[in-house]
């Protein structure tokens, strides 16, 4: 994908203006370049944000795996497609060439077909970061099955919710996973989840840790013997551009997680286009994104975007702290990584450690650094720039969402001058707007407001699986004819964007989206708890951490507080996963509420952050006296 190798800011503005003047021409040109379409589209774009309905490249047909694998075979068949770096540094890395990937994906696809999986069926993938994860994703796409990867840190209950929501027929998992010095019993978690899932009739199990697990008869099978038997070629299913490619769950501020549904053609075009431009990938480069494929970052920028560009993409199984805090940099040196993309929370954690962990490695191969998932603070930005990039690698602070499918606002290296904490400018084709609380667009610079996107882009999610009304209510109802992101942002004097954080009840902890409502639901299920409210407060590594205000039932009042805290966190861990545990739990006699009964989280946020200025007028509350008491006992 050549497309735009934008080299100067002036060139960016030219391209950007053209993309806004005639978006359909702009995207059509990109789609025509280098992709393999089995049939061309009749129309580039049809859209109506009031329904909302968006279709890109209607009438076109393709298979995304032909674009990610087959079309590279003649030109770069022996090139490494996936470079797998295991958790244990003593285990050799695995270089999977495009030819080998073709064979592995084909075999896996044939196994899926053999087990009765057809186009449109949902397959839930619950795997660690091992090659089978990428291969199974691509195998689903090969046959038109809809993959839904669930991050293998989620609990059995969270996994079951997702399986049931998309009515998956199959689960792909492993006998366990390595995470630093620990192992995790993934198969046990799947077994527990499946006790409450009626739709799954097959479980394929990859062998990773050689643990002694039980296979359930007529349901579970080891994957490897099936792959060994399978034929190494699989004719790709021809998909319509708007056929679903995957469902990926993301937390909402209320209720159960939202299954964001992405479709095939537009997603492919945008993942490939944004990858190429944001990372300026060149043929000899070795690109590494440290995310997990269980998140959208891994979907778009470990699997689809890089492979659509014929890139070498590193897949790392482990954690940044194992066997020591130098692991990331050791891998950069070992594989001569050229582009490195990670999360601010990882940077903050590593910046706390001895600088020797960085300086003892040769990082001179690096050309571009990236961050994603949450705002990066100035200190972390400078540490990354000074010690990892050695001041010669532009940092792309990429703003986007599960819903957007690809990077929306980001510098383009060597073209856009970077500015710490700013995601800077929209990629060509993306039209952001800042809105005020009355629904009016705020024009001009040096302003702030709610971040919306006013024109469709190819990789936007098309719906929430099984709940189009929720899709409309969440994203298209706050502002007329706009996609609302849920984020606040400011635009500085030159038009650069800085994302200031969520304006809804989603809290980003270590780069993970956590909705307050599901966590509160989990806490409230504890028999001693009457009611609870969760807010975020600043944390120097996680970005935000969670603070829970909990009202106990009478039966809980006599209990030991620390035991209760542990039990509440265990409850959250069981229902959602350890990532959602609370850092602080304060037991309170009541919660500040409006007269209509709505919890005033604004006040709780201030208390949790120990910022007692401007608490606002509390006299209009239903129970103003409770605020003083909460402040007095704040942790
Ligand atoms: O609040 C924004 C924050 O992460 C949210 C999206 O989370 P998720 O769907 O899990 O996707 C994360 C990976 C794309 C956004 O609404 N966010 C993401 N990137 C940035 C960011 N906040 C500030 N700066 C960023 N670069």
pLDDT in tens, 525-540: 999 998 899 999 999 9
- Domain presence at residue 458: yes
Least trusted range by pLDDT, from 183-197, 247-261, 382-396, 579-593: 247-261
- Clarify whether residues 292 and 152 are in a common domain: yes
What's the domain count of the chain? Answer: 2
Contact between 53 and 461 under an 8 Å Cβ cutoff? The reply is no
Q: For residue 144, how many other CB atoms are within 10 A of its CB?
A: 23
CA of 232 to the centre of ligand 1 (A): 39
Give the residue, by CA position, lying nearest to ligand 1 atom 22. 374
Q: What is the mean pLDDT of residues 314-329?
A: 97
Q: How confident is the model at residue 465 (pLDDT cuts 50, 70, 90)?
A: very high
Each residue of 119-142: pLDDT tens digit? 999 999 999 999 999 999 999 999
Render pLDDT for 170-209 as a digit per residue (tens, 0 to 9).
999 999 999 999 999 999 999 999 999 999 999 999 999 9
Average pLDDT over residues 412-417: 94
Count Cβ atoms below 10 Å from residue 229 Cβ, excluding itself. Answer: 11
DSSP-derived secondary structure letter, 42: S
Residues 6+ apart with CB under 8 A from 264: 62, 64, 239, 240, 241, 242, 243, 244, 245
Q: 276 by DSSP, 3-state: which? A: helix
Query: In angstroms, what is the span from residue 291 Cα to ligand 1's centroid?
Result: 13
Mean pLDDT of 256-262: 95
387 shares a domain with 250 = yes
Asked if residue 549 has pLDDT above 90, the reply is: yes
Lowest mean pLDDT among 31-40, 133-142, 393-402, 618-627: 618-627
So what's the pLDDT on residue 182? Answer: 96
- 406 within 8 A of 270, measured Cβ to Cβ: yes
**Domain endpoint, select from 459, 489, 519:** 489
Contacts of 379 (CB under 8 A, 6+ apart): 351
CATH number, position 484? 3.40.50.12780
Residue 222: inside a domain: yes
Residues 436 and 567 in one domain: no
Residue 4 lies in a domain: no
Query: Which pLDDT value is given to residue 4?
Result: 56
Q: What is the pLDDT of residue 251?
A: 84
Q: Is the pLDDT of residue 3 over 60?
A: no
Residue 614's pLDDT band (boundaries 50, 70, 90)? Answer: confident
Boundaries of domain holding 596: 510-632
For range 29-58, the mean pLDDT? 97
3 assigned to some structural domain: no
Q: Which residues of 416-425 are buried (b: 16+ CB within 10 A; e: fewer)?
A: bebbbbbbbb
Q: What does pLDDT average to over the chain?
A: 95
Domain final residue, candidates 422, 454, 489:
489
Number of Cβ atoms within 10 Å of the Cβ of 609: 14
Residues 465 and 532 in one domain: no
Q: What is the CATH number of the domain that holds 604?
A: 3.30.300.30
Task: From residue 512, give the alpha-carbon distance in Å to each of 112, 189, 327, 506, 546.
Answer: 31, 21, 22, 10, 12
Which protein residue has the closest C-alpha to ligand 1 atom 18? 373
Based on the fold, state whether residues 124 and 241 are members of the same structural domain.
yes
Let me know whether 534 and 485 are in one domain. Answer: no
Q: Which residues pair with 315 in a beta bridge?
A: 84
Question: Which of 150, 248, 486, 513 best tests ligand 1's pocket when mutated (most atoms within 8 Å of CB)?
Answer: 513
Domain boundary among 489, 518, 545: 489
Nearest CA to ligand 1 atom 6: 401
Of all protein residues, the one whose alpha carbon is nearest to atom 12 of ligand 1 is 373
Bridge-based pairing state of the strands 202-206 and 220-222: parallel
Residue 330 lies in a domain: yes
pLDDT at 5: 64
Q: Say how far apart CA 406 and CA 453 lie, in whole Å.
A: 13
Is the torsion defined by CA of 131, 340, 296, 29 positive or negative? negative
The pLDDT of residue 79 is 98
Q: What pLDDT is attached to residue 151?
A: 96
pLDDT for position 239: 98
Residues of the chain with pLDDT > 90, as a percent, come to 87
- Mean pLDDT of the region 428-453: 96
Q: pTM for the whole thing?
A: 0.93
| Same domain as 535, residue 473 | no
Distance 373 CA to ligand 1 centre (A): 4
pLDDT of 454 higher than 60 = yes
Identify the bridge partners of residue 371 per DSSP, sorted by sequence position: 342, 397
Cβ–Cβ < 8 Å for 592, 599: yes
> For residue 298, which of 125, 456, 443, 421 has the smallest C-alpha distance?
125
pLDDT (mean) for 59-71: 98
Task: Indicate if the pLDDT at residue 457 is higher than 90.
Answer: yes
296 Cα: distance to centroid of ligand 1 (angstroms): 10
Residue 502 lies in a domain: no
Residue 317 and residue 411 share a domain: yes
Same domain, 257 and 294: yes
In the chain, % of residues over pLDDT 70: 99
- Taking CB atoms and a 6 Å cutoff, what residues make up the pocket around ligand 1? 250, 296-297, 372-375, 397-402, 423, 485-487, 499, 502, 508, 513
| Buried/exposed 20-49: b ≥16 CB within 10 Å, e otherwise | eeebeebbbebbeebbebeeebeebbeeeb
One-character DSSP codes across 559-587: S-HHHHHHHHHHHHHHHT-GGG--SEEEE
528 shares a domain with 450: no
Residue nearest to atom 26 of ligand 1 (CA): 399
Q: Is 158 inside any structural domain?
A: yes
> Please, are residues 27 and 44 in contact by the beta-carbon 8 Å criterion?
yes
Ligand 1 atom 24: residue of nearest CA: 375
Per-residue pLDDT tens digits for 148-170: 999 999 999 999 999 999 999 99
Binned at pLDDT 50, 70 and 90, residue 1 comes out as very low
Tell me the best of 400, 408, 419, 422 to mutate to test the pocket of ligand 1, counting ligand atoms within 8 Å of each CB and taking the most: 400
CA of 291, closest atom in ligand 1: 13
Q: Domain check: are 441 and 575 in the same one?
A: no
Residue 235: which residues within 8 A CB-CB, separation 6 or more?
none
Which carries the bigger pLDDT value, residue 37 or residue 3? 37
Least confidently predicted of 18-32, 162-176, 616-630: 616-630
Residue 503, in any domain of the structure? no
Position 305 pLDDT exceeds 50: yes
What's the pLDDT score for residue 128? 98
Q: Do residues 424 and 409 make contact, with C-beta atoms less than 8 angstroms apart?
A: yes
Q: Residue 468: pLDDT above 80? A: yes
C-alpha to C-alpha distances, 431 to 20, 61, 502, nearest whole angstrom: 7, 27, 19
Which of 167-171, 404-408, 465-469, 537-541 is predicted with the least confidence, judged by mean pLDDT? 537-541
Backbone φ and ψ of 313, nearest 5°: -120, 125
Provide the pLDDT for residue 2: 42
Check whether residue 483 and residue 551 sit in a common domain: no
- Give the C-alpha separation, 568 to 540, whole Å: 24
pLDDT of residue 616: 76
CA distance linking residue 208 with residue 360, whole number of Å: 31
């Amino acid at each position: 994908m050549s497309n735009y190798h934008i080299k100067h800011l002036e060139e960016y503005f030219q391209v950007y203006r053209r993309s806004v003047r005639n978006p359909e021409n702009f995207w059509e040109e990109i789609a025509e370049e280098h992709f393999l379409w089995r049939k061309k589209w009749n129309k580039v774009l049809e859209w109506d944000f009031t329904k909302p309905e968006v279709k890109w490249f209607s009438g076109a047909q393709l298979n995304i795996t032909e674009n990610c694998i087959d079309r590279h075979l003649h030109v770069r068949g022996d090139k490494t497609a996936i470079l797998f770096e295991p958790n244990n540094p003593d285990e050799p890395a695995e270089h999977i060439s495009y030819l080998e990937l073709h064979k592995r994906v084909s075999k896996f696809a044939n196994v899926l077909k053999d087990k009765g999986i057809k186009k449109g069926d949902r397959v839930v993938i619950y795997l660690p970061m091992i090659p089978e994860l990428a291969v199974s994703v691509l195998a689903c796409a090969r046959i038109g099955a809809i993959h839904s990867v669930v991050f293998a840190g989620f609990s059995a209950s969270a996994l079951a919710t997702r399986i049931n929501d998309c009515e998956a027929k199959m689960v792909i998992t492993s006998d366990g996973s390595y995470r630093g010095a620990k192992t995790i019993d993934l198969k046990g978690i799947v077994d527990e989840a499946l006790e409450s899932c009626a739709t799954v009739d097959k479980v394929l199990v990859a062998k990773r840790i050689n643990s002694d697990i039980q296979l359930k008869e007529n349901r579970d099978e080891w994957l490897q013997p099936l792959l060994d038997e399978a034929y190494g070629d699989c004719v790709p299913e021809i998909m319509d551009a708007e056929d679903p490619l995957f469902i990926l769950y993301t937390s909402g501020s209320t209720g159960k997680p939202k299954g964001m549904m992405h479709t095939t053609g537009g997603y492919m075009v945008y993942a490939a286009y944004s990858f190429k431009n944001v990372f300026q990938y060149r043929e000899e480069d070795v690109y590494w994104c440290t995310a997990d494929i269980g998140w959208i970052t891994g979907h778009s920028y470990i699997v689809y975007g890089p492979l659509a560009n014929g890139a070498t993409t590193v897949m790392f199984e482990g954690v940044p702290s194992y066997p020591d805090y130098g692991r990331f940099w050791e891998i950069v040196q070992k594989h001569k990584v050229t582009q490195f993309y990670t999360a601010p929370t990882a940077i903050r954690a590593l910046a706390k450690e001895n600088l020797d962990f960085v300086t003892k490695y040769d990082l001179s191969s690096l050309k571009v650094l990236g961050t994603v998932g949450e705002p990066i603070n100035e200190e972390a930005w400078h540490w990354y720039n000074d010690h990892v990039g050695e001041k010669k690698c532009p940092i792309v602070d990429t703003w986007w969402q599960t819903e957007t499918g690809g990077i929306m606002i980001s510098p383009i290296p060597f073209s856009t001058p970077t500015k710490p904490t700013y995601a800077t400018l929209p990629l060509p084709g993306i039209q952001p707007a800042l809105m005020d609380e009355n629904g009016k667009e705020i024009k001009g610079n040096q302003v702030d407001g709610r971040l919306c996107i006013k024109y469709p882009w190819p990789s936007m999610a098309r719906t929430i699986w099984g709940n189009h009304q929720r899709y409309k209510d969440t994203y298209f109802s706050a502002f007329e004819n706009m996609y609302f992101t849920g984020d606040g942002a400011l635009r500085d004097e030159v038009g650069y964007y800085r994302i200031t954080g969520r304006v809804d009840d989603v809290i980003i902890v270590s780069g993970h989206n956590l909705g307050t409502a599901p966590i509160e639901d989990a806490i409230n299920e504890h028999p001693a708890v009457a009611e609870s409210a969760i807010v975020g407060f600043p944390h120097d590594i996680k970005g935000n951490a969670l603070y829970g205000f909990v009202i106990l039932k009478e039966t809980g009042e006599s209990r030991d507080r620390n035991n209760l805290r542990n039990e509440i966190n265990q409850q959250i861990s069981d229902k959602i996963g350890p990532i959602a545990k609370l850092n602080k739990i304060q037991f309170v006699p009541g919660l500040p509420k409006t007269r209509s009964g709505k919890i005033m989280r604004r006040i709780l946020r201030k208390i949790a952050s120990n910022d007692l200025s401007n608490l606002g007028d509390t006299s209009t509350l239903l129970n103003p006296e409770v605020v003083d008491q909460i402040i007095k006992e704040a942790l």
